[in-house]
């Protein structure tokens, strides 16, 4: 008796989706893994490992499979899109997400051991003109990141970190430093971390967030945010809900006496996301109730500027993710529609991600035609920016529709997504957007 093929989860990652498509085409062609391997001069084990996302295939492997399987270029186009949007061997210097590396910094933060080094001499406060120039550049890059995606601005963010932010950090490490300078440094590291996630460099993102945590020093609230929101979201992005939950709970525990409603709501929302990902519906519901209660108590003038983005629409987005993970798709769709309706046209990445989330939920609830129609809108948003996360979300829609691959609307949607998100098309859209 032959061995049962490994069950695939196409929505797990771009590489998983590619593997699922390769298996679908091979099966439709009536070929075994060994037969396909012989035709393209690879071993059966290589075909198996590429199908099960255990190996990143070579370009020649993909092109030969496309030819032998009669895919008409579709498989090769999908692979080009995947490579363009982040499926690759780990880049030099990026070791990937390392959950154990978060434990010591979090413990040090809880115990208050991230402050000034003993005997360090006071540093001079940076010149106001330097602060203003760096703050203006940081705000420009933050807006460009929202509008065009990190693929366009992450090099500029790295330049800011290596130059003015490093200089400001040296001047902001002493007790004579201003809170404005310190917050600017932390904000720059936070943006750099977020941008690194958007280009697929999760190990780099982790390092940026941890650098921001050290730079925050005595700002308990900003430190809590970096641990319980930034790092916890990174853990969720990397599929580690347990670490996300641990981070959000640690951040909440470490800010009992100094938190604000917006920070408590944001932390509770991430706690709810982690519980939902773990399938813990009751705990997720309780955390969402806390997030809702704290949202009602927000007074914008009393909140730190760096959490000014957090509002009812953002919480609706977090709630929608919880509901999708819990399989409550009708409720999720109502929440994500509310979130999308409130977004400005310049928030292109968030529009792409939330529209793709809506399409994914519609596909999961059996609304195939509407899922494809909404998915096209998500493709249009994603094609206008350089954002790995946006493209991953579109591929997640396609993965959710994999069981309906023979439906005409799904075929047309897949072709549309492949064409619009191919590297040349994406580059052209970005030139127009710029």
Residues 63 and 118 in one domain: no
Query: 136-154: per-residue pLDDT in tens?
Result: 999 999 999 999 999 889 8
Highest mean pLDDT among 52-56, 310-314, 397-401: 310-314
Q: How many CA atoms lie within 13 A of 54 on its CB side?
A: 10
Residues 144 and 105 in one domain: yes
- pLDDT classification of 425: cutoffs 50, 70, 90: very low
Q: Which of 298, 310, 361 is nearest to 335 (CA)?
A: 361
* Domain membership flag for residue 248: no
Residues 287 and 407 in one domain: no
Percentage, residues of the chain above pLDDT 90: 57
Q: Enter the DSSP assignment of 126.
A: P
Residues 230 and 107 in one domain: yes
Give the per-residue pLDDT at 70: 87
Which of the pair, 107 or 94, is modelled with greater confidence? 107
Indicate if the pLDDT at residue 229 is higher than 50.
yes
- pLDDT classification of 119: cutoffs 50, 70, 90: very low
Indicate if the pLDDT at residue 287 is higher than 70.
yes
**d(Cα 244, Cα 267) in Å, to the nearest integer?**
11
* Domain membership flag for residue 68: yes
Residues 329 and 349 in one domain: no
Indicate if the pLDDT at residue 97 is higher than 90.
no
Q: Enter the DSSP assignment of 311.
A: S
* Domain membership flag for residue 92: no
- CATH number at 51 reads 1.10.260.40
Indicate if the pLDDT at residue 82 is higher than 90.
no
* Domain membership flag for residue 217: yes
Contact 314, 343 (CB under 8 A): no
Give the per-residue pLDDT at 3: 52
Indicate if the pLDDT at residue 52 is higher than 80.
yes
- 286-318: burial string, b at 16+ Cβ within 10 Å, e else: ebbebbeebbeebeeeebeebbeebebbbbbbb
**d(Cα 239, Cα 122) in Å, to the nearest integer?**
42
Residues 198 and 219 in one domain: yes
Average pLDDT over residues 326-345: 96
Question: What is each CA distance from 67 to 39, 64, 99, 232, in whole angstroms?
Answer: 10, 5, 41, 43
Which of the pair, 40 or 180, is modelled with greater confidence? 40
Indicate if the pLDDT at residue 429 is higher than 50.
no
Indicate if the pLDDT at residue 274 is higher than 70.
yes
Give the per-residue pLDDT at 81: 62
Residue 129: count other Cβ atoms within 10 Å of its Cβ: 8
Contact 135, 127 (CB under 8 A): no
**d(Cα 406, Cα 401) in Å, to the nearest integer?**
10
Contact 369, 378 (CB under 8 A): no
**d(Cα 294, Cα 268) in Å, to the nearest integer?**
9
**d(Cα 403, Cα 70) in Å, to the nearest integer?**
20
Give the per-residue pLDDT at 217: 79
Which of 182, 204, 239 is the last residue before a domain boundary?
A: 239
Helix (H, G, I), strand (E, B) or coil at 64: helix
Residues 77 and 105 in one domain: no
* Domain membership flag for residue 5: no
Name every residue whose Cβ is closer than 8 Å to that of residue 406 and which is 6 or more positions away in sequence.
none
Total domains in the chain come to 4
Give the per-residue pLDDT at 6: 59
CA dihedral for 386, 389, 392, 397, sign (positive or negative):
negative
Name every residue whose Cβ is closer than 8 Å to that of residue 261 and which is 6 or more positions away in sequence.
294, 295, 297, 298, 299, 303
Indicate if the pLDDT at residue 111 is higher than 90.
no
**d(Cα 112, Cα 282) in Å, to the nearest integer?**
33
Which of 338, 368, 395 is the last residue before a domain boundary?
A: 338
- Please state, rounded to an integer, the average pLDDT across all residues of the chain: 85
Query: 402-424: per-residue pLDDT in tens?
Result: 778 789 999 999 889 877 876 54
* Domain membership flag for residue 254: no
- pLDDT classification of 118: cutoffs 50, 70, 90: very low
What count of residues does the chain have? 434
* Domain membership flag for residue 102: yes
Residues 111 and 61 in one domain: no
Helix axes 388-400, 14-28, angle to 10 degrees: 40
112-126, 307-321, 357-371 — which is least confidently predicted? Answer: 112-126
Q: How many CA atoms lie within 13 A of 199 on its CB side?
A: 22
Contact 232, 247 (CB under 8 A): yes
78-87, 253-262, 274-283, 312-321 — which is least confidently predicted? Answer: 78-87
Q: Enter the DSSP assignment of 301.
A: G
Give the per-residue pLDDT at 95: 65
* Domain membership flag for residue 2: no
For 411, the domain range is 343-434
Give the per-residue pLDDT at 284: 98
Average pLDDT over residues 302-320: 95
- pLDDT classification of 14: cutoffs 50, 70, 90: low
Residue pointed to by tokens 């706690």: 271
**d(Cα 207, Cα 230) in Å, to the nearest integer?**
12
- pLDDT classification of 9: cutoffs 50, 70, 90: low
**d(Cα 54, Cα 50) in Å, to the nearest integer?**
6
Residues 267 and 224 in one domain: no
Q: Which of 260, 257, 265, 251 is nearest to 216 (CA)?
A: 251
- pLDDT classification of 434: cutoffs 50, 70, 90: very low
Which of 300, 320, 338 is the last residue before a domain boundary?
A: 338
Residues 144 and 198 in one domain: yes
**d(Cα 303, Cα 222) in Å, to the nearest integer?**
11
Residues 327 and 370 in one domain: no
Give the per-residue pLDDT at 74: 73
Cα-only R_g, the chain? 23
Residue 434: count other Cβ atoms within 10 Å of its Cβ: 9
Give the residue ranges of DSSP H helices in 85-119: 103-111
Residues 381 and 309 in one domain: no
Q: DSSP letters along 364-380, please? A: HTT-HHHHHHHHHHHHH
C-alpha 150, offset from chain centre: 11
Question: What is each CA distance from 313 to 108, 139, 166, 309, 338, in whole angstroms?
Answer: 34, 22, 34, 9, 7
């Amino acid at each position: 008796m032959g061995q049962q093929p490994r069950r695939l989860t196409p929505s797990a990652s771009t590489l998983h989706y590619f593997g699922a498509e390769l298996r679908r085409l091979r099966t439709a062609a009536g070929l075994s893994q060994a037969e396909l391997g012989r035709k393209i001069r690879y071993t059966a084990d290589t075909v198996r490992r590429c199908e099960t996302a255990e190996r990143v295939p070579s370009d020649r492997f993909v092109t030969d499979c496309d030819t032998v399987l009669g895919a008409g270029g579709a498989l090769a186009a999908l692979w080009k899109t995947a490579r363009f949007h982040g499926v690759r061997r780990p880049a030099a210097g990026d070791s990937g997400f390392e959950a154990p590396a978060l434990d010591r910094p979090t413990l040090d933060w809880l115990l208050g051991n991230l402050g000034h080094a003993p005997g360090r001499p006071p540093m001079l406060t940076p010149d106001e003109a330097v602060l203003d120039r760096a703050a203006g550049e940081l705000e420009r890059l933050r807006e460009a990141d929202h509008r065009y995606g990190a693929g366009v601005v992450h090099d500029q963010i790295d330049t800011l970190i290596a130059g003015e932010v490093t200089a400001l950090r040296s001047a902001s490490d002493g007790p004579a430093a201003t809170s404005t300078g310190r917050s600017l440094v932390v904000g720059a590291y936070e943006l750099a971390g977020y941008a690194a996630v958007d280009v697929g460099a999760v190990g780099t993102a982790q390092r940026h967030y941890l650098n921001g945590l050290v730079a925050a020093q005595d700002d308990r609230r900003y430190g809590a945010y970096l641990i319980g929101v930034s790092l916890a979201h990174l853990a969720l992005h990397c599929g580690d809900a347990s670490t996300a939950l641990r981070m959000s709970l640690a951040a909440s525990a470490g800010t009992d006496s100094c938190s604000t409603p917006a920070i408590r709501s944001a932390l509770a929302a991430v706690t709810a996301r982690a519980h939902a990902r773990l399938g813990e519906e009751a705990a997720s519901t309780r955390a969402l109730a806390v997030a809702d209660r704290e949202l009602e108590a927000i007074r914008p003038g009393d909140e730190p500027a760096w959490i000014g983005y957090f509002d009812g629409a953002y919480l609706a987005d977090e709630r929608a993710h919880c509901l999708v993970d819990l399989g409550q798709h009708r409720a999720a769709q109502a929440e994500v529609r509310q979130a999308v309706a409130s977004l400005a046209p310049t928030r292109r990445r968030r529009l792409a991600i939330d529209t793709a989330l809506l399409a994914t939920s519609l596909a999961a609830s059996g609304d195939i035609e509407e899922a494809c129609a909404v998915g096209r809108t998500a493709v249009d948003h994603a094609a206008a920016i350089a954002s790995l996360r946006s493209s991953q979300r579109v591929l997640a829609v396609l993965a959710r529709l994999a069981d309906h691959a023979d439906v005409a609307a799904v075929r047309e949607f897949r072709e549309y997504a492949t064409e619009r998100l191919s590297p040349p098309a994406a580059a052209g859209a970005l030139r127009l957007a710029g």
